[in-house]
Amino acid sequence: MSIKEHIERAQIDVASALNLYFEQALDSDRAIKEATHYSLFNGGKRLRPFLVYATGKILGADKKDLDILAAAIECIHSYSLVHDDLPAMDDDDLRRGRPTCHIVYGEAQAILAGDALQTLAFELIAKHSFNCSAQTQVKMIAALAHASGLEGMVSGQGLDIAATDKIITVQELERIHKLKTGALINCAITLGALCSENVDEQTLENLSVFGYAIGLAFQVHDDILDVEGDTVTLGKPQGSDIAANKATYPALLGMLGAKEKAQNLIQQAHEALANIDADTTLLASLANYLIERDH
Amino acid sequence: MSIKEHIERAQIDVASALNLYFEQALDSDRAIKEATHYSLFNGGKRLRPFLVYATGKILGADKKDLDILAAAIECIHSYSLVHDDLPAMDDDDLRRGRPTCHIVYGEAQAILAGDALQTLAFELIAKHSFNCSAQTQVKMIAALAHASGLEGMVSGQGLDIAATDKIITVQELERIHKLKTGALINCAITLGALCSENVDEQTLENLSVFGYAIGLAFQVHDDILDVEGDTVTLGKPQGSDIAANKATYPALLGMLGAKEKAQNLIQQAHEALANIDADTTLLASLANYLIERDH
């Protein structure tokens, strides 16, 4: 299978796992249930689920366990997008070519849908009967919470908002992205690895280097696409970062500098994989794909 | 100790547990850290922490474990208040006599602070070394998530918003409160009980009857205070539910009917406690206190 086919496989698998929950959720407000479902199924790339599956598979984790972890991390990612799009935050009307959650369901329901999606992530992991031990289950919940919260994604978004309209350094921009997107991308890999229960500290460390490198490369490439991509392919207006006065890598490093940075990061990612004693072909292909994609 | 002194003890203990986290949280955005801390320390009654401590103590749970559970459930409660107060939701400027989170820190930071508080609840439980088993730890996380999410608190708030300006029945109002406040109040009791690890199904069931009865009585009494209380004692404008066109028990049942309902619920709560084979004096005192308080 090509990397694109592997990503499509992850998209199908995580969709099944998510839909299973929605068929079972009984006593819930219909509007919020609809809004959460709409937000989860908005044509996302499912990069984080893919990373859960790819890493877990390499290390021998159970497929059904990975389904739950993939669904959970996508819930966190999805909640963060719903809240980031709100008028008080980035104020975006479109995401991937479709109206954002608050445009369709109103602001109150969008806030609640985001809240419910975050809870759902933890509920999915805590309710599943894993093949791994309860100790590992707790460790995975701790990792997901740490990556999402005050010392991870939420602080990244806070710093990002604070940096709008300000001149910041490349180091400051990297800290923002490390927290805002890096922490969760890295966590996807950690979850896949922990779930296998036969992963040593050194492998976890190498996977983490890989995770942060591709997370940052992903972001640099996003900034490049914001300048060079076209609106239809991107599903959002080309140039929207610049219009919103967001600091970007092309703005700070120049377009050539940004492209070089993305290449260097992918090189680092490959070096980290080379130190891992397992077949990491799929993760290597993903790294290359991340800086070649057009949306 | 009087019930008021027991409640004050719970307030002090949960404050210590929460502050311990904030001393350790290193890599986080200062503004959001401040906003979460402000929201957690806004003079709340700490009813849910009290219930965790009171139930856990009866059944022999470890005090340090209860500290974490009390802190976690207060984080969930606190996040829900921050988000409920937002302009797109209930649009409240004051809570307990102090400006709400978004008034002090702005809407974007308030959304993020609420998000971070929710995550923190799960992080606190998942990171703590409990004296009970990892299986129980997972069960407690599942209970907290279930009570907070799409089949609990969030749906209650969604139904509440949808019911504003509409005429609803007492049954519909009860369903809203059962989800919006009942689920989490009940969960506080469940967490305290689960943590002890020597609680049988029948006791859990009796505690649940007690929990839902006092949760609803608490809400009925809140509605009564909204009519009969005074603005300074309440910390919010007297008559604010009526001004916001919210359905209330006095409006649906008359003031006498509402007071009778609160009494009946507390009677049910006492009957549930009578079936429990342990010293439930403290929970009984709390039940009485809930419908006697003036704020």
Q: What does the domain layout of chain A look like in residue ranges?
A: 3-290
Tell me, what's the pLDDT at B246?
A: 78
Provide the token pair at A32. Answer: 């919020």
Helix axis angle, A63-84 relative to A3-24, nearest 10°? 80
Q: Give A 7-26 residues with CB within 8 A of chain B.
A: 25-26
Per the document, the length of chain A is: 295
State whether residue A98 is helix, strand or coil: strand
Chains A–B, number of C-beta pairs less than 8 Å apart: 173
Q: Does residue B142 carry a pLDDT above 90? A: yes
Q: Tell me if chain B has a CB within 8 Å of the CB of A98.
A: no
Provide the token pair at B143. Answer: 């209970």
Alpha-helix residue ranges (DSSP H) falling in chain A = 3-24, 30-40, 47-58, 63-84, 101-105, 107-127, 134-148, 153-163, 170-177, 183-196, 201-228, 231-234, 240-243, 249-274, 281-290
State whether residue A37 is helix, strand or coil: helix
- CA nearest B146 in A: which residue? A123
DSSP structural state of residue A255? H
Q: Does residue A283 carry a pLDDT above 70? A: yes
**Cβ–Cβ gap A179/B27 under 8 Å:** yes
Candidate from A68-77, A154-163, A197-206, A231-240 with smallest mean pLDDT: A231-240
State whether residue A9 is helix, strand or coil: helix
Tell me the per-residue pLDDT of A149-168, one tens digit each, with 9 for 90 and over.
999 999 999 999 989 888 99
Tell me, what's the pLDDT at B100?
A: 97
**Site of tokens 């409160």:** B177
Interface residue of B136, B137, B138, B175 to substitute, partner A, most A CBs within 10 Å: B138
Residues 6+ apart with CB under 8 A from B276: B203, B206, B207
Q: Tell me if chain B has a CB within 8 Å of the CB of A149.
A: yes
Q: Does residue B242 carry a pLDDT above 80? A: no
Residues 6+ apart with CB under 8 A from B24: none
- Which among B25, B108, B126 is the nearest to A89, CB-wise? B108
Q: Does residue B207 carry a pLDDT above 70? A: yes
Q: ipTM of the assembly?
A: 0.95
Residues 6+ apart with CB under 8 A from B51: B185, B188, B189, B192, B211, B283, B286
CA distance A104 to A93: 9
Q: Tell me if chain B has a CB within 8 Å of the CB of A184.
A: no
Degrees, nearest 5: CA angle B53-B54-B60: 80
Q: Does residue B229 carry a pLDDT above 70? A: yes
For A270, phi and psi rounded to 5 degrees?
-65, -40
Query: Which CATH entry fits the domain spanning B3-290: 3.90.1150.10, 1.10.600.10, 3.90.76.10, 3.40.50.720?
Result: 1.10.600.10
- Which among A115, A146, A162 is the nearest to B118, CB-wise? A115
Interface residue of A36, A85, A105, A112 to substitute, partner B, most B CBs within 10 Å: A112
Section B272-288 average pLDDT: 96
Q: Does residue B27 carry a pLDDT above 70? A: no
Q: Which pLDDT band, with edges at 50, 70 and 90, does A243 fall under?
A: low
Q: Find how far residue B162's CA is from the centre of its chain.
A: 21
CA distance B108 to B104: 11
Per the document, the length of chain B is: 295
Provide the token pair at A295. Answer: 């949306």
Neighbours of A138 (CB within 10 A): 23
Provide the token pair at A186. Answer: 């890295």
- CA nearest A89 in B: which residue? B108
**Cβ–Cβ gap A29/B162 under 8 Å:** yes
Q: Tell me if chain B has a CB within 8 Å of the CB of A81.
A: no
Mean pLDDT value across chain B: 93
State whether residue A99 is helix, strand or coil: strand
SS3 for chain B is CCHHHHHHHHHHHHHHHHHHHHHHCCCCCHHHHHHHHHHHCCCCCCHHHHHHHHHHHHCCCCHHHHHHHHHHHHHHHHHHHHHHCCCCCCCCCEECCEECHHHHHCHHHHHHHHHHHHHHHHHHHHHCCCCCCHHHHHHHHHHHHHHHCCCCHHHHHHHHHHHCCCCCCHHHHHHHHHHHHHHHHHHHHHHHHHHHCCCCHHHHHHHHHHHHHHHHHHHHHHHHHHHHCCHHHHCCCCCHHHHCCCCCHHHHHHHHHHHHHHHHHHHHHHHHHHCCCCCCHHHHHHHHHHCCCCC
Tell me, what's the pLDDT at B234?
A: 61
Q: Does residue A137 carry a pLDDT above 70? A: yes
**Cβ–Cβ gap A112/B28 under 8 Å:** no
Gap from A233 CA to chain B (nearest CA, Å): 29
Strand partners, A94: A99
Q: Does residue A177 carry a pLDDT above 70? A: yes
What residue type is assigned to position B241 of the chain? Answer: D
Residues 6+ apart with CB under 8 A from A228: A255
Q: Does residue B261 carry a pLDDT above 90? A: yes
CA distance A127 to A137: 10
Nearest residue to B161 via CA among A243, A105, A219, A284: A105
**Site of tokens 């590992």:** A136
Side-chain half-sphere of B10: how many Cα atoms within 13 Å?
31
> What pTM does this model have?
0.95
How far is the first Cα of chain A from the last one, in angstroms, to the nearest whole number?
A: 21
Q: Tell me if chain A has a CB within 8 Å of the CB of B27.
A: yes
- CA nearest A85 in B: which residue? B108
**Cβ–Cβ gap B109/A158 under 8 Å:** yes
How far is the first Cα of chain B from the last one, in angstroms, to the nearest whole number?
A: 21
Residues 6+ apart with CB under 8 A from B23: none
Q: Give B 60-79 residues with CB within 8 A of chain A.
A: 79
- Which among B32, B138, B179 is the nearest to A154, CB-wise? B32
Section B159-185 average pLDDT: 93
Gap from B293 CA to chain A (nearest CA, Å): 31
CB < 8 Å to B116, chain A: 149-150, 154-155
For A95, phi and psi rounded to 5 degrees?
-140, 125
Neighbours of B265 (CB within 10 A): 23
CA distance B111 to B94: 16
Task: Give, for A42, the enclosing helix (H) or strand (E).
Answer: none
Tell me, what's the pLDDT at B237?
A: 64
- Which among A139, A154, A162 is the nearest to B115, CB-wise? A154
Section A202-210 average pLDDT: 97
SS3 for A143-175 is HHHHHHCCCCHHHHHHHHHHHCCCCCCHHHHHH
A20 or A71: which leads in pLDDT: A71
